[in-house]
Amino acid sequence: MSIPEEKIYPRTGDSQTIYLNAAITNPNIKIGDYTMYNDFVNDPIDFEKNNVLYHYPINHDKLIIGKFCSIACGAKFIFTSANHTLKSLSTYPFPLFWEEYKLAQKDVTQAWDNKGDIIIGNDVWIGYEAVIMSGIHIGNGAIVGTRAVVTKDVEPYTIVGGVPAKPIKKRFNDKTIEKLQSICWWNWDKEKVCEKINDIMGGNIDKL
């Protein structure tokens, strides 16, 4: 399917930054409106191939990312099929080589432990070369630091960093976070976002 160029590249003269949902073809990847991806190493159009890893159709797991997210160059989403099973006496993925070992092809998913979908909220910033592991849920407004490896869920409006990623601090106080979660400005139509853009950027939550 041919995607109109202006819907892929939102910035004039910038071929490294795309609106990600315009480049997605995999039905098991759902990306919200205005979520952007920047890649200065590879073609950002190849996000599915270069950034969503071990995402085999046989497992039916999903990558779901909300609206207005910012995804930096090299961020990776590692899916269930990368997780060799710990239930076996061996970590070797014998079921992948079902022909070699005379196993049933239908049992190939026994080669890994199923961790589930990766679900990213709205207005989430994922830093340079961060890694999000399978089964992880990241709340609205969270920030994942550069090269962090996220192995546990991240609460809304929480900054995490490190290997493995740990909470550093909340972006706002609990009252402000609760209000932002209630307002859900990312679900407004574009006209209302434009109307309130200066208050959003200026941190004027009382005017939203």
The answer to whether residues 124 and 46 belong to one domain is yes
Residue 51 belongs to domain spanning: 5-79+115-171
pLDDT tens column, 116-134 = 999 999 999 999 999 999 9
Catalytic, 84? Answer yes
127 touches 143 (CB < 8 A) = yes
Residue 188 lies in a domain: yes
The answer to whether residues 39 and 60 belong to one domain is yes
The answer to whether residues 69 and 16 belong to one domain is yes
Count the neighbouring beta carbons within 10 Å of the beta carbon of residue 148.
26
Residue 19 lies in a domain: yes
Q: Which residues contact 29 (CB under 8 A, 6 or more apart)?
A: 48, 52, 55, 62, 63, 64
Cα distances (angstroms) measured from residue 11 to each of 19, 20, 67:
10, 13, 18
The answer to whether residues 131 and 205 belong to one domain is no
181 touches 172 (CB < 8 A) = no
Look up tokens 């490896």; give the residue: 149
Is the model's pLDDT at 2 over the cut of 50? no
Instruction: Name the active-site residue from 55, 60, 84, 137.
Output: 84
The answer to whether residues 167 and 177 belong to one domain is no
Residue 109 lies in a domain: no
Q: How far apart are CA 24 and CA 13, in angstroms?
A: 21
The answer to whether residues 163 and 75 belong to one domain is yes
Strand (E) or helix (H) holding 166: strand 166-170
Residue 87 lies in a domain: no
Residue 84 lies in a domain: no
Q: Which residues contact 64 (CB under 8 A, 6 or more apart)?
A: 29, 30, 117, 118, 119, 120
- Count how many domains the chain has: 2
80 touches 54 (CB < 8 A) = yes
Is the pTM for the entire model greater than 0.85? yes
Residue 42 lies in a domain: yes
pLDDT tens column, 63-112 = 999 999 999 999 999 999 998 999 999 999 999 999 999 999 888 999 99
The answer to whether residues 123 and 199 belong to one domain is no
The answer to whether residues 133 and 190 belong to one domain is no
CATH classification of the domain holding 51: 2.160.10.10
Residue 104 lies in a domain: no
pLDDT tens column, 135-172 = 999 999 999 999 999 999 999 999 999 999 999 999 99
The answer to whether residues 155 and 179 belong to one domain is no
Burial class (CB in 10 A: 0-12, 13-18, 19+), 111: buried
Range 199-207 average pLDDT? 93
